[in-house]
Amino acid sequence: MNPQLTRLVTLTLVGFGLVGSACSKQDGDDGHHGEASHPIALTTPAVMDVPTSQGYVCQIHSRRNIEVRALTEGYLQEISVQEGQLVGEGQVLFKILPVLYKARLEADNAELRLAEINLRNTQRLNEQNVVSDQELALSRAERDRAKAKFDRAAAEYAFTKIVAPFDGIVDRQLMQQGSLVEKGDVLTTISDNSVMWVYFNVPEADYLRFTSIPGAINPDAPQKLTLPGATIRLRLANGALFDQPGAQTLTMESEFDNKTGNVKFRADFTNPDRLLRHGQTGTLLIEETLSDVLVIPQRATFEILDGQYVYVVDDNGVAHQRKIAISHELEDIYVIENGLSADDKVVLEGVRQVHDGEHLEHTEFRPPEEAVSNLKNHAE
């Protein structure tokens, strides 16, 4: 046959699917590829202790973070600290030019001494019945007024030295040496980072679960919540865990945010190395161990709309679809809140092959300890 004609006939047969069909079949093949038949694996929920970790986005604040303001006006004469420096309580941070305040203090001091001399003379004359008691009271009032003026001048003079109110870290300097400052101007901020307050929002469901723990609420301090057996940890923005655990006692605000349904909690962390700074963010972790809870592998479940289901096999080998409630989701297992008991047999493998009401012929049982070990498969 002409080679060109042969090629044309072959292309025509391929176009109609005749050549492909013939080539796809082998001797003894009927053209259908059935799935290999495997027995369906069953198991029961495992009863075990499960470590859990619940994370909450948090904001980190210094226990004390305040603005350092000028208490009087004048020229900024001296800056005694550097930005980021650790300072002690009472340490001088800034000095304002004190000439005017010093002069006023000395003048008021002179008036006070004069008033005291006048009072002593009046007392002596009163003892000799030369002056009346009224004149003595007037001299005493003049002395008290002079003393008040002196105390005020002394306070204003002391305001020219601005000192640290507590141990802390100095922030950015907002005024430079030689600047004219007004009363109330912010010079810097100072943070006490020895203990950090970590704030996080807790949903109402978690709040109710925490407060239902026996002994969690102290009647004498209802704003405090203690989680016995729990560990409070802090994961930083780089994923590393902070090396200090948080205090087990948390502080709660008194009101829920009706827009979000959350209530704000606070955890306290000691910060000996000053690693944490005011304004940082992270994730607060509440690590608990749930005792004697029911656990099933995630691969034994399937989803319908927003519900989670399993196939429960009765004593006659019939599979029944059942909805379950999940209290905690771990990497590859679910902690069951309700819907299953420890004696229920559930389909572990072959969930996609099973239908509601189907009688299962070929099954094998796997102990729950084996079923929940070394799992990495999630729900189908």
Neighbours of 55 (CB within 10 A): 14
Q: Could you identify the residue written with the tokens 């304002």?
A: 96
The arrangement of secondary structure in 54-63+192-290, i.e. its CATH architecture, is Beta Barrel (2.40)
Check residue 38 and give its pLDDT: 72
- Check for a shared fold between 54-63+192-290 and 67-190: no
Dihedral angle, C-alpha 339, 345, 350, 355, nearest 10 °: -70
Check residue 37 and give its pLDDT: 57
Check residue 374 and give its pLDDT: 63
Domain segments of the chain: what residues?
40-49+292-371, 54-63+192-290, 67-190
- Taking the C-alpha atoms of residue 170 and residue 65, their distance in angstroms, rounded to an integer, is 10
Neighbours of 353 (CB within 10 A): 13
Check residue 19 and give its pLDDT: 40
Q: Could you identify the residue written with the tokens 């004696």?
A: 343
Task: Answer whether 308's CB lies under 8 Å from 327's CB.
Answer: no
- Residue 86 main-chain phi, psi, to 5 deg: -85, 125
Q: Indicate the class that CATH gives domain 40-49+292-371.
A: mainly beta
Task: Answer whether 234's CB lies under 8 Å from 241's CB.
Answer: yes
Q: Could you identify the residue written with the tokens 């980072």?
A: 193
Check residue 131 and give its pLDDT: 86
Q: What is the mean pLDDT of each run of 10 residues along the chain (380 residues)?
A: 44 40 38 56 93 93 95 91 93 91 92 94 90 91 94 91 94 92 94 96 92 86 89 96 94 92 96 94 94 93 92 95 92 91 94 93 91 63
Check the CA dihedral 352-357-361-365 and report its sign.
positive
Task: Answer whether 357's CB lies under 8 Å from 32's CB.
Answer: no
Contacts (Cβ under 8 Å, ≥6 apart) of 121: none
Task: Tell how far CA 258 is from the center of its chain.
Answer: 20
CATH number of 67-190: 2.40.50.100
Check residue 375 and give its pLDDT: 64
Task: Answer whether 112's CB lies under 8 Å from 146's CB.
Answer: yes
Task: Answer whether 250's CB lies under 8 Å from 267's CB.
Answer: yes
Buried b (16+ CB within 10 A) or exposed e, 90-110: eeebbbbebeebeebbeebee
Q: Which helix (H) or strand (E) is 46 found in, with range?
A: strand 46-69
- Taking the C-alpha atoms of residue 222 and residue 107, their distance in angstroms, rounded to an integer, is 56
